[in-house]
Amino acid sequence: MDPWIPYTIIAASFIFTAIGFTKKFGERYAWINRKIIHFSLVPAILMFYRGLIPGEVFSISAFIFGLFQLWPHLSRREFSWYQIKHNYGEVFFAFSASAIPLILPRNYATALLLAMAVSDGVTGLIRHYYFTKNGFNVKLKKHWTGSLGFLATASIIGGFVLGFHLVGSMLWAAFLMLAEYQPYLDDNLAVPLVGSVLFLLY
């Protein structure tokens, strides 16, 4: 047995456990459930970072997971507790996660993947709390409070993973935050695109 197989199985189990677990919360918490599933990718990212899961295996696995999530949309039978009709964000997330290890070095790819999984997840939780507290529909809303959460967590990731000093880390995080906040392109595509361009300055 190849040594990466057990680690890949363990990493996948975190993701599918999160999908099964969040089903208990139901459709009302679809946006929160998506973010919990985002967080569940962290073990896989860290195993990729440590070399326990090869980049090509991570990439293929993420691509397959993207197809797994695309099919319910195409068949109009979404997993309603975390998939939202006409919103393919979780599919874009998986396909972006598939591409990143193929085009970027492991160290930088890890930082960008963690920003997508952790920072975006924290952003969603903060915004959900804010809008729920204020009685608004939270499904597709964005707010500056969540962006601050993204900026803070991505700055920490940039510092620890990439070794940026404080200013450099905050600048890297700020560009990713703006990519996440803009309304024109799904953030699961915009963040990896901007992050990949920023690599040219890394």
Instruction: Measure the CA–CA gap between 34 and 120, rounded to whole angstroms.
Output: 10
Task: Examine the pLDDT at 190 and tell me if it is beyond 90.
Answer: yes
Task: Examine the pLDDT at 89 and tell me if it is beyond 80.
Answer: yes
Percent with pLDDT over 70 in the chain: 96
Q: What is the 3-state secondary structure (H, E, C) of the chain?
A: CCCHHHHHHHHHHHHHHHHHHHCCCCHHHHHHHHHHHHHCCHHHHHHHHCCCCCHHHHHHHHHHHHHHHHHHHHCCCCCCCCCECCECHHHHHHHHHHHHHHHCCHHHHHHHHHHHHHHHHHHHHHHHHHHHHCCCCCCCCCCHHHHHHHHHHHHHHHHHHHCCCHHHHHHHHHHHHHHHHCCCCCHHHHHHHHHHHHHCCC
Q: Where are the domains of the chain?
A: 4-199
Percent with pLDDT over 90 in the chain: 78
What pLDDT shows up at residue 124?
83
Q: Note the pTM of the prediction, 2 decimals.
A: 0.93
What pLDDT shows up at residue 136?
60
With contact defined as beta carbons under 8 Å apart, do 96 and 118 qualify? no
Mean pLDDT score, 146-156 = 94
What pLDDT shows up at residue 71?
96
Mean pLDDT score, 5-24 = 96
Give the confidence band of 142 by pLDDT, cuts at 50, 70, 90.
confident
What pLDDT shows up at residue 5?
95
For residues 174 and 124, the model is more confident at 174
Task: Examine the pLDDT at 86 and tell me if it is beyond 60.
Answer: yes
Mean pLDDT score, 108-131 = 90
What pLDDT shows up at residue 134?
67
Task: Examine the pLDDT at 138 and tell me if it is beyond 60.
Answer: no
